[in-house]
Amino acid sequence: MLDSPKRVESAEHTVVYHGDGEFSAWPFNGGMWKTDDGVVVAFINHDCDYSVPENLHDAKVVRYGSVVSPTENKQNQLSHARIETYGAIRAMRTTDGGDTWTDDGVISDNVETSEQVLYNEIPDIEPHDFSNRDTLMACWSSPHSAASDAVPWVKLSDDGGDSWSDAKRLPMFDFERIQGRPSYITREDGTLLLMLTGKTGSDPHDVPIVYASFDGGQNWTFLSQIDGSEKYRMLCPSPVLLEDGTLVAAVRCKISVDCEWTEIYRSTDDGRNWSFVSRVNDLGAPSTP
């Protein structure tokens, strides 16, 4: 028998960050880390004029398309292209379990980061110890995640998010575009697995892929792919490592902008191969296991 969704009656809601005239959202994409002294949450942030509702986005085009509507020459203030390309990834920190939050600065000024990632040499990054709770990794794409040529990058911190390395561009291999997110786990052998969304010229849609670093984030290689569908996009994989070493990933499946759901995949060989487990729901994504 199927259980109906149930409201969590004991939940407490706290405003982490708010700015009038600002878009501040998508912590699912920004990242959330438990550090030695608390929790750091990141989100996408950019100026936004909410006073003219019809300029927020053009309903006739996909919202993560162009900054200016090609159909009516209206602004698309909430398009992924505008918010991500010209915005920033900001962070907030709590040391009391979420009751209060303090500004933890900017992880990425996305204009500056895109300059580094797309036009500068790839910086050397020292190996980081991911068994240390204060070792964090941010991940996103330039110029923005919906671009047909999106390039993923990572930034590393070894002091709980107080400071971050320069952005390191990840290798593309045969992928035309890769959407990055800070969705990663550390295997029992110390290998770092980063789950991304990629598309090659032969793929009809985006597919979930896994990159591996065997040296603490210094170098990266392609490890595996969760077999995609020829009928719909599969994106934003989110992994969990179970006590027995099994890897489980929740995947966002999307056939259109208004129809998506969540599927679960499993790996029993350290992320090298994946198998379908179940479809979680009728409608609703993203989801994190």
CATH number for 251: 2.120.10.10
Residue 65 maps to a domain = no
Q: Which two tokens stand for residue 257?
A: 């902008």
As a whole number, the mean pLDDT across the chain is: 90
Domain with 180 in it: 170-289
With bands split at pLDDT 50, 70 and 90, how would you rate the model's confidence at 57?
low
Residue 248 maps to a domain = yes
pLDDT at 70 > cutoff 50: no
Q: Which two tokens stand for residue 158?
A: 């070894």
Let me know: does 151 contact 169? Beta carbons within 8 Å.
Answer: yes
Q: What is the pLDDT of residue 149?
A: 94
Domain count across the chain: 1
Let me know: does 199 contact 136? Beta carbons within 8 Å.
Answer: no
Place of tokens 């991940």: 139
Let me know: does 61 contact 82? Beta carbons within 8 Å.
Answer: no
Residue 152 maps to a domain = no
Q: What percent of the chain lies above the pLDDT cut of 90?
A: 72
pLDDT at 115 > cutoff 80: yes
User: What is the reported pTM?
Assistant: 0.91
Place of tokens 């320069």: 166
Q: How many CA atoms lie within 13 A of 56 on its CB side?
A: 8
Question: For residue range 82-92, what is the model confidence (pLDDT) as tens digits?
Answer: 899 999 999 99
The distance from CA 211 to its chain's CA centroid, rounded to whole angstroms, is: 14
The Cα 76–Cα 80 span in angstroms is 9
Residue 85 maps to a domain = no
Let me know: does 61 contact 78? Beta carbons within 8 Å.
Answer: no
Question: For residue range 184-235, what is the model confidence (pLDDT) as tens digits?
Answer: 999 999 999 999 999 998 888 899 999 999 999 999 999 999 987 788 999 9
Question: For residue range 132-156, what is the model confidence (pLDDT) as tens digits?
Answer: 999 999 999 999 998 999 999 999 9
Lowest model confidence (mean pLDDT) among 24-33, 65-74, 250-259? 65-74
pLDDT at 62 > cutoff 60: no
**Per DSSP, what are the bridge partners of residue 240?**
248
Residue 246 maps to a domain = yes
Residue 23 maps to a domain = no
Q: What is the pLDDT of residue 100?
A: 96
Q: What is the pLDDT of residue 140?
A: 98
Q: Which two tokens stand for residue 263?
A: 């599927």
State in Å, rounded, how far the first CA of the chain is from the last one. 21
The Cα 136–Cα 119 span in angstroms is 25
Q: What is the pLDDT of residue 59?
A: 52
pLDDT at 64 > cutoff 50: no
- Burial letters for 233-260: b for 16+ Cβ neighbours within 10 Å, e otherwise? bbbbbbbebeeeeebbbbbbbbeeeeeb
With bands split at pLDDT 50, 70 and 90, how would you rate the model's confidence at 76?
confident
